[in-house]
Chains A and B, each alone.
Chain A
Amino acid sequence: MSARNVGIVYRKELTEAVRDRRTLISTILVPLLLFPVLSVGFGSLAVALVGKAKEETPKVMLRGGEDSPAVVEGLKKLDRIEIVPETPNWKDQIINKEIRAAVEIPAGFQANIAQQKADTVRIFNYEGELKSEFATEKIEKYMKEYRDKVVKERLAAKNLPDTVLKPFDVKQENVAPPEKVSGAAFGGIIGYMVILLCMTGAMYPAMDLTAGEKERGTMETILSSPISRMHLVLGKFFLILTAALGTAALSVLSMGVSFSVLSHYTGRTAGGRAAGASFLLKLGPKTVISVFLMALPVAVLFSATLMTIALFAKTYKEAQSYLTPMTFVVIIPAIAAMLPGVELTPKLSIIPILNVSLLCKELVAGTYHWNYIAVIFASTCVYAAAALFIAIKMFQRESVLFRS
């Protein structure tokens, strides 16, 4: 009988929820659109912009160099660089993006080099401006190659090998598989997004089923029916949980599809290969299922907590003012998990939300610390059960239900 009653309430709440535009937007539309817009939309836009910036032939102004023809000749031969003659307002031209950089060859540069005197070539640019930095990189690369060539010639003249200056090399080599590399970079964001969307999915139904019901005057109607308040609160809770999980599931699904599309896209275009290679991310079904499973107790926690808080409010608006600050309570630990260097420790593994965010980071990177998974799952379940218990108790308090 009890399960039947919970089921009756749940089915009724579900019927109402699918007819509520606000719930549909927060539960289905937002998670479905957010990832494609963020990843494919902004991602491909970024790739396109970076690609375009790299494909542009930047104008670089040459200052001096009249007595250093070899260097100037080399600069002029550089691929995709247009060397323009000096004008007095060169600084303004850089700031106004008319030219991307200026290179200053000091007087007597080649002669000084020949006499083994120290000298400095200056590159003037617009720091932080992408196209200016690309132009600077090209000029700097050329000048460094030129310097290496000079060093080699000097060593050769004295019959010395290259190893005199460079007795050994230092090289970095990545041994982590690509999904772990991208997981370390993006896992934190994914955990954050799933947790945040889990909460936004639960938020609207939580307000609608409690404060909304009070405001519309249906609370007294339902309380006059024979259903026990525990069954009533459970029926409502399961609906809110469905919305939270639905949002989380759709966001994980949409995230997976978005990243697949993004990897496909970035692999195809020239600009994409160059700029987008670093954020190739493939989410396997195992990762998706793991993230979703960890989101489960978080969803229970959010559903019960939001329902309890919203129940105190007399109106939908009042509930909104209570629940909006909750977003920050959730965002702060979720953002903390994204900070570089923050990793799972025994202490952090019992801090709600932060623990799941950190774990998601590991899961997306393909690392499964089973002891942490057990602790985090268990502790989140305990928090969730406590929140649900409080919600049931609150539903039995007249001072909360009939607060005036």
Chain B
Amino acid sequence: MIEARGLSKRFQDKKRGEIRAVDNVSFTCQPGKIYGLLGANGAGKTTTLRMLATILEPTDGTAIVCGHDIVEQPEKVRANVGFLSTATALYRRLTAQEFVEYFGRLNGLDEATLKKRVDDIFKRLDMNGFRDRRCDKLSTGMMQKTSIARTLVHDPPVMIFDEPTNGLDIMTARTITSFIRECRNNGKTVIFSTHIMSEVEKLCDTIGIIQSGKLLVEGSLAELRDKYAEHDLEEIFVKVVTPLFAPEEAN
């Protein structure tokens, strides 16, 4: 489970002064559910997810991930999280197997468990054909599978996906979306960020719309449709973010 409590992140920018990338964001993600964080570029999605994955430290507030505080116990949080984004690249000079094993070891798996886990994942994701191939020789699809294998190797109860299909072709993106669904079916807590409406409609149990670092609204797709009297998610999104988006655009 993920419970964000007033998460905030401020940065200092030489030109623009203090920037509130994330501003007092609170939400809860339940096991076996997918929480979709929907927002435009620069809305604060990546910063929020990076804080949940303890890659960044919140300026204020905190979050509890699987019972561990992200500020107090970041290493324990990371041991319970699988983090995947288009920015999480592979070590090019390692083979797919070496890469996955490396992260298994960093997650404290002993060699016997690691071997079994790697064999299972490689079989499940149909990766045996390229397990000994160096990551710089893999196709985009193979790379994504290897990244997925990395996030799964320690079998974490929480999965965080930061715009995981960004820039990917349809077939590779489908691999990712079906993997996200599989995570939910396996009872994992899933949070993912995107700006692609169709993905949210297909996958999410709960949708949170974020803009200018603020979580403006959250609810299921049906609830949002009711609330804004719109069927199309894109229209709902525009209605929600326009009041905040317009002044920034004018600036």
Q: In this complex, what residue of A is CB-closest to B75?
A: A226
Q: Are B102 and A12 in contact (CB under 8 A)?
A: yes
Q: Output the least CB separation between A198 and chain B (Å).
A: 24
Is A15 in contact with chain B by the CB < 8 A criterion?
yes
Given the interface pairs A8-B105, A16-B94, the reply to whether A228 lies near B88 with Cβ below 8 Å is: no
Residues of A within 8 A of B122 (CB): none
A223 to B49, CA, bound (A): 13
Residues of B within 8 A of A398 (CB): 56-57
Q: Are A218 and B90 in contact (CB under 8 A)?
A: yes
Q: In this complex, what residue of A is CB-closest to B57?
A: A398
The number of A-B residue pairs with CB atoms under 8 Å apart is: 63
Residues of A within 8 A of B93 (CB): 15-16, 19-20
Given the interface pairs A220-B55, A220-B87, A221-B90, the reply to whether A226 lies near B79 with Cβ below 8 Å is: yes
Residues of A within 8 A of B108 (CB): 1, 226
Q: Output the least CB separation between B161 and chain A (Å).
A: 12
Is A217 in contact with chain B by the CB < 8 A criterion?
yes
A151 to B89, CA, bound (A): 89
Q: Output the least CB separation between B54 and chain A (Å).
A: 8
- B-side interface size class: 20 to 34
Given the interface pairs A8-B105, A15-B98, the reply to whether A226 lies near B91 with Cβ below 8 Å is: no
Q: Could you tell me which residues of chain A, from 218 to 256, have a CB within 8 Å of some CB in chain B?
A: 218, 220-221, 223-228
Residues of B within 8 A of A15 (CB): 93-94, 98
Residues of B within 8 A of A221 (CB): 88-91, 150
Residues of A within 8 A of B78 (CB): 224-226
Residues of B within 8 A of A1 (CB): 108
Q: In this complex, what residue of A is CB-closest to B80?
A: A226
Is B85 in contact with chain A by the CB < 8 A criterion?
yes
Q: Are B88 and A16 in contact (CB under 8 A)?
A: no
A232 to B211, CA, bound (A): 34
Q: Are B92 and A216 in contact (CB under 8 A)?
A: yes
Q: Are B90 and A402 in contact (CB under 8 A)?
A: no
Given the interface pairs A5-B106, A226-B107, the reply to whether A12 lies near B75 with Cβ below 8 Å is: no
A218 to B75, CA, bound (A): 18
Q: Output the least CB separation between B11 and chain A (Å).
A: 8
Q: Output the least CB separation between B193 and chain A (Å).
A: 14
Q: Could you tell me which residues of chain B, from 104 to 131, have a CB within 8 Å of some CB in chain A?
A: 105-108
Q: Are B91 and A16 in contact (CB under 8 A)?
A: yes
Q: Output the least CB separation between B104 and chain A (Å).
A: 10
Q: Output the least CB separation between A231 and chain B (Å).
A: 9
A12 to B101, CA, bound (A): 10
A115 to B134, CA, bound (A): 94
Is B53 in contact with chain A by the CB < 8 A criterion?
yes
Q: Are A224 and B89 in contact (CB under 8 A)?
A: no
Is B237 in contact with chain A by the CB < 8 A criterion?
no
Is B35 in contact with chain A by the CB < 8 A criterion?
no
Residues of A within 8 A of B56 (CB): 398, 402
A228 to B54, CA, bound (A): 11
A224 CB contact (under 8 Å) in B57, B88, B105, B134: B88
Q: Are B102 and A218 in contact (CB under 8 A)?
A: no
Q: Are B92 and A224 in contact (CB under 8 A)?
A: no
Residues of B within 8 A of A20 (CB): 93
Is B192 in contact with chain A by the CB < 8 A criterion?
no
Q: Are A224 and B81 in contact (CB under 8 A)?
A: yes
Q: Are A226 and B88 in contact (CB under 8 A)?
A: no
A8 CB contact (under 8 Å) in B57, B83, B102: B102
Residues of A within 8 A of B53 (CB): 224
Q: Are B103 and A225 in contact (CB under 8 A)?
A: yes
Q: Are A12 and B90 in contact (CB under 8 A)?
A: no
Q: In this complex, what residue of A is CB-closest to B154?
A: A226
Q: What would 14 A/B residue contacts be, using CB atoms closer than 8 Å? A: A1-B108, A8-B105, A12-B91, A15-B98, A19-B93, A216-B89, A217-B88, A220-B85, A220-B87, A221-B89, A221-B150, A225-B106, A226-B76, A227-B106
5 more CB-based (< 8 A) A-B contacts, given A19-B134, A227-B106? A217-B87, A224-B88, A226-B76, A228-B75, A398-B57
Q: Which residues of B contact A (CB under 8 A)?
A: 50, 53, 55-57, 75-76, 78-79, 81, 83, 85, 87-94, 98, 102-103, 105-108, 134, 150
